[in-house]
């Protein structure tokens, strides 16, 4: 034990016998948190326990040291303090007698969850579990220590919000890994800016995988729900949690990154489902991203974007590609004679992962949950089974059709990812709109994938006619931003995404840009300028129609401008307004 006496229990660095750690400033006299393992406890004859860094309803997380590799580690101890107590020896955990059955059930779930995550220890964009073991009447999971900050703090440090291009590079790799995990039945259910971490290399990973009871209101464990990120089914504690629950948490975190604020609490949104975004921020978010957020943040789980594959298509591909992916997903639901084994998928997925240090911008190389490379084996099995019941050629045609669609979709989506960087950096047109209130996006839109419709043409149509759309309508209309326009009357639609004639899912949203009419331009002070100088000054500011009218003034010379007819310097006028300037024709003027 003496070999470790000089280690700082907060950072695992040598202290040189100082009273305060020269590396992190931690006082060596500071006591361990109550109910936590004592400093320098050794687990499994391998892991030295340091300071308890944080705890939740599931247990306690410590910094530690792997005595074999001399690397810092993160040690997670299953210790739900609503169900169990620490023994007087400071080590063993004893469940409360009346809650012993609940403790054992949750303990087993924790063990199985962490063991499942072990298979993904090479998967990018997620925290890695390297060891799971039982000791002291409970379970421990060990992961590499992360020198990381939370997304919440990163956004705050980055000025309060991120651009879509910045957020895309952080979030898309995480979205890909979530799609992979859900494909084998693994959920997170606590996605928020507090469980997303930014590493020193600038990439983002998903961490803090806990058992479901921590992310569900009304269980025996104290919940860790984050207001604005928890879906309605989590807050009410009555419905089952599924992939769409994680979609909500992911979308809320993306919403936070782009706007600097959270959606309202899901219980409040049950009464008023609108998403409020300041106009100054909304105008910089691409319309297709606004539409995707509106779909993914549906209050009702039945209307919400159901899968990460669907959300990925909305965020990174055109509506045409999205429709193709939906068709592929429908074909995947055709029953197979030989059910896919979760274990087989889980064992093969990590082999295709990348080292965590790789650049997160390599989105086109991420694991696809439905891997075309497995299809030949499925083809072989189907052919073998179908000899007795269904003719061989039927299965061959069916499988070939599915393969063709999957390969085409994967190729197109990868091309979309590779092109996305340039596309998302397109500058949003600037406007002269000043002092507007928060813009709102109505998010009560359906994200069902069952039925496709042709996108109608809304351009040059009055937006007011679509404001009261029913949630059961074929489509909803969401305003992405307002712009001034010299050609489209105020209140009418300038453009839309997706465009007319494309395919979209029935019940989802069409994102539109609405005209605020002609741009308003401030009239400059022209007093003392010649008529020619004044006309040039006005036209350089965007006014297209300038007229002159003679008048009389004692304050400027003959032939000089002394003001406007019916307006004053500083007034705001539409660019296509006729501006009349007054020219002094008074022969007795001073000047």
Q: Which two tokens stand for residue 167?
A: 């957020």
Distance CA 192, CA 250 (A): 7
Distance CA 291, CA 52 (A): 42
pLDDT of residue 94: 96
529 vs 220, 293, 535, 558, CA distance in Å?
Answer: 79, 52, 9, 11
Residue 37 has pLDDT above 60, yes or no: yes
Q: Under CATH, to which class is 451-515 assigned?
A: alpha beta
Of residues 144, 92, 150, the one with CA closest to residue 117: 144
CATH code of the domain occupying 520-584: 3.30.10.20
Spell out the residues 6+ positions from residue 134 whose beta carbon is closer than 8 angstroms to its own. 111, 140
Ranking 146-150, 241-245, 329-333, 584-588 by mean pLDDT, the lowest is 329-333
Q: Which residue has the tokens 């040039």?
A: 536
Per DSSP, the three-state class of 295 is helix
pLDDT of residue 28: 85
Residue-wise pLDDT tens digits, 564-583:
998 898 888 887 788 999 99
Per-residue pLDDT band at 44 (split at 50, 70, 90): very high
Q: What is the DSSP string of 165-220?
A: HHHHHHHHHHHHHHHHHHHTT------STTTEEE-TTS-EEE-----GGGGSTTSS
Q: Which residue has the tokens 């007319």?
A: 500
Q: Which residue has the tokens 């700082």?
A: 8
Taking all residues of the chain, what is their mean pLDDT, rounded to a whole number?
79
Of residues 211, 221, 217, 219, the one with CA closest to residue 231: 217
Helices (H) and strands (E) in the chain, counts: 14, 23
Q: What is the arithmetic mean of pLDDT over 501-529?
A: 81
pLDDT of residue 553: 87
pLDDT of residue 431: 30
Most confident listed range (236-250, 432-446, 488-502): 236-250
CATH 1.10.510.10 domain extents, the chain: 149-424
Q: What is the arithmetic mean of pLDDT over 287-298?
A: 94
Ranking 43-52, 69-78, 132-141, 357-366 by mean pLDDT, the lowest is 357-366
Distance CA 39, CA 51 (A): 7
Where is pLDDT greater, at 306 or 1?
306
Distance CA 454, CA 482 (A): 25
Contact of 484 with 433, CB cutoff 8 Å? yes
Per-residue pLDDT band at 322 (split at 50, 70, 90): very low
CATH code of the domain occupying 149-424: 1.10.510.10
Per-residue pLDDT band at 390 (split at 50, 70, 90): low
Residue 53 has pLDDT above 90, yes or no: yes
Give buried/exposed letters for 451-471 (b at 16+ CB in 10 A, else e). Answer: eeeebbebeeeebeebeebee
Distance of CA 192 to the CA centre of its chain: 9
> Long-range contacts of range 280-283, CB-CB < 8 Å, 24 or more positions apart?
281/161, 282/439, 282/441, 282/480, 282/481, 283/428, 283/431, 283/481
Contact of 59 with 76, CB cutoff 8 Å? yes
CATH code of the domain occupying 31-144: 3.30.200.20
Per-residue pLDDT band at 392 (split at 50, 70, 90): low
What is the SS3 string spanning 411-450?
Answer: HHHHHHHHHHHHHHCCCCCCCCCCCCCCEEECCCCCCCCC
pLDDT of residue 503: 76
Distance CA 501, CA 524 (A): 45
> Long-range contacts of range 461-470, CB-CB < 8 Å, 24 or more positions apart?
461/492, 461/493, 462/491, 462/492, 462/493, 463/491, 463/492, 463/493, 463/512, 463/514, 464/491
- Name the phi and psi angles at 231, rounded to 5: -75, 165
Per-residue pLDDT band at 423 (split at 50, 70, 90): very low
Residue-wise pLDDT tens digits, 341-354:
333 333 333 333 33
* Angle, CA of 553, 558 and 561, to the nearest 5°: 65
Residue 48 has pLDDT above 90, yes or no: yes
Residue 374 has pLDDT above 70, yes or no: no
- Name the phi and psi angles at 422, rounded to 5: -70, -40
CATH 3.30.200.20 domain extents, the chain: 31-144
Q: What is the arithmetic mean of pLDDT over 233-238?
A: 89
Residue 366 has pLDDT above 70, yes or no: no
307 vs 53, 66, 204, 292, 315, CA distance in Å?
Answer: 34, 38, 21, 12, 13
Share of the chain above pLDDT 90, in %: 49
Per-residue pLDDT band at 166 (split at 50, 70, 90): very high
Residue 357 has pLDDT above 60, yes or no: no
pLDDT of residue 396: 63
- Name the phi and psi angles at 393, rounded to 5: -65, -25
Spell out the residues 6+ positions from residue 272 whose beta carbon is closer than 8 angstroms to its own. 264
pLDDT of residue 87: 94
Residue 152 has pLDDT above 90, yes or no: yes
Spell out the residues 6+ positions from residue 588 whose beta carbon is closer than 8 angstroms to its own. none
Most confident listed range (5-9, 60-64, 430-434, 509-513): 60-64
Residue-wise pLDDT tens digits, 433-484:
333 334 455 433 333 334 678 889 999 998 888 865 544 577 877 776 677 7
CATH 3.30.10.20 domain extents, the chain: 451-515, 520-584
Q: Are strands 138-144 and 131-135 parallel, antiparallel or unpaired?
A: antiparallel
Share of the chain above pLDDT 70, in %: 74
pLDDT of residue 560: 92
Q: What is the DSSP string of 29-96?
A: TPPPPTTSPPTT-EETTTEEEEEEEEE-SSEEEEEEEETTT--EEEEEEE--TTTEEE-TTSS-EEE-
Of residues 168, 190, 173, the one with CA closest to residue 258: 168
Residue 551 has pLDDT above 60, yes or no: yes
Global confidence as pTM: 0.58
């Amino acid at each position: 034990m003496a070999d470790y006496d000089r280690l700082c229990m907060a950072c695992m660095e040598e202290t040189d016998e100082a009273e305060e750690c020269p590396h992190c400033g931690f006082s060596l006299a500071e006591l361990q948190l109550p109910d936590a393992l004592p400093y320098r406890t050794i687990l499994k004859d391998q892991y030295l326990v340091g300071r308890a860094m944080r705890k939740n309803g599931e247990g306690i997380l410590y910094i530690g040291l792997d005595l074999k590799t001399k690397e810092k580690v993160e040690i997670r101890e299953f210790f739900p303090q609503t169900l169990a107590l620490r023994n007087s020896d400071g080590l063993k955990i004893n469940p409360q007698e009346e809650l012993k059955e609940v403790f054992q059930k949750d303990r087993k779930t924790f063990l199985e969850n962490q063991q499942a995550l072990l298979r993904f220890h090479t998967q990018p964009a997620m925290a890695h579990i390297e060891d799971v073991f039982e000791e002291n009447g409970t379970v421990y999971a060990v992961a590499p220590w992360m020198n990381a900050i939370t997304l919440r703090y990163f956004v705050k440090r980055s000025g309060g919000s991120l651009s879509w291009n910045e957020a895309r590079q952080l979030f898309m790799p995480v979205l890909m890994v979530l799609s992979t995990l859900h494909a084998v039945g693994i959920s997170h259910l606590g996605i928020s800016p507090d469980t997303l971490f930014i590493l020193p290399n600038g990439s983002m990973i998903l961490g803090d995988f806990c058992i479901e009871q921590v992310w569900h209101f009304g269980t025996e464990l104290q919940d860790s729900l984050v207001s604005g990120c928890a879906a309605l089914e989590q807050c009410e504690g009555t419905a089952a949690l599924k992939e769409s629950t994680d979609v909500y948490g992911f979308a809320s975190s993306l919403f936070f990154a782009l706007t600097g604020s959270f959606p309202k609490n899901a219980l409040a949104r049950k009464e008023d489902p609108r998403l409020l975004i300041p106009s100054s921020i909304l105008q910089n978010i691409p319309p297709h991203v606004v539409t995707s957020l509106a779909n993914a943040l549906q209050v009702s789980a039945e209307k919400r974007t159901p899968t990460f594959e669907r959300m990925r298509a909305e965020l990174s591909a055109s509506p045409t590609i999205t429709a193709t992916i939906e068709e592929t997903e429908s074909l995947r639901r055709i029953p197979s004679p030989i059910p896919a084994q979760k274990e087989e998928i889980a064992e093969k997925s990590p082999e295709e992962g990348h080292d965590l240090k790789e650049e997160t911008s390599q989105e086109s190389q991420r694991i696809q949950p439905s891997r075309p490379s497995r299809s030949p084996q499925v083809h072989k099995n189907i052919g073998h089974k179908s000899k007795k019941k269904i003719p061989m050629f039927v299965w061959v045609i069916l499988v070939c059709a599915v393969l063709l669609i999957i390969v085409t979709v994967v190729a197109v989506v990868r091309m979309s990812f590779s092109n996305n960087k340039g596309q998302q950096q397109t500058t949003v047109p600037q406007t002269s709109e000043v002092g507007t209130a928060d813009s709102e996006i109505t998010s009560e839109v359906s994200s069902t994938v069952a039925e496709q419709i042709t996108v109608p043409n809304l351009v040059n149509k009055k937006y007011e006619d679509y404001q009261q759309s029913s949630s059961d309508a074929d489509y909803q209309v969401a305003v992405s931003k307002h712009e001034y326009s010299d050609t489209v009357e105020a209140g009418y639609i300038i453009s839309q995404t997706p465009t007319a004639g494309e395919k979209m899912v029935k019940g989802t949203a069409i994102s539109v840009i609405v005209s605020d009419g002609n741009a308003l331009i401030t009239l400059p002070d022209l007093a003392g300028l010649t008529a020619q100088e004044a006309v040039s000054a006005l036209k350089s500011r965007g006014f297209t129609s300038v007229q002159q009218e003679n008048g009389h003034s004692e304050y400027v010379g003959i032939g000089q401008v002394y003001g406007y007819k019916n307006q004053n310097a500083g007034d705001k006028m539409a660019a296509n307004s006729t501006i009349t300037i007054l020219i002094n024709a008074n022969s007795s003027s001073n000047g």
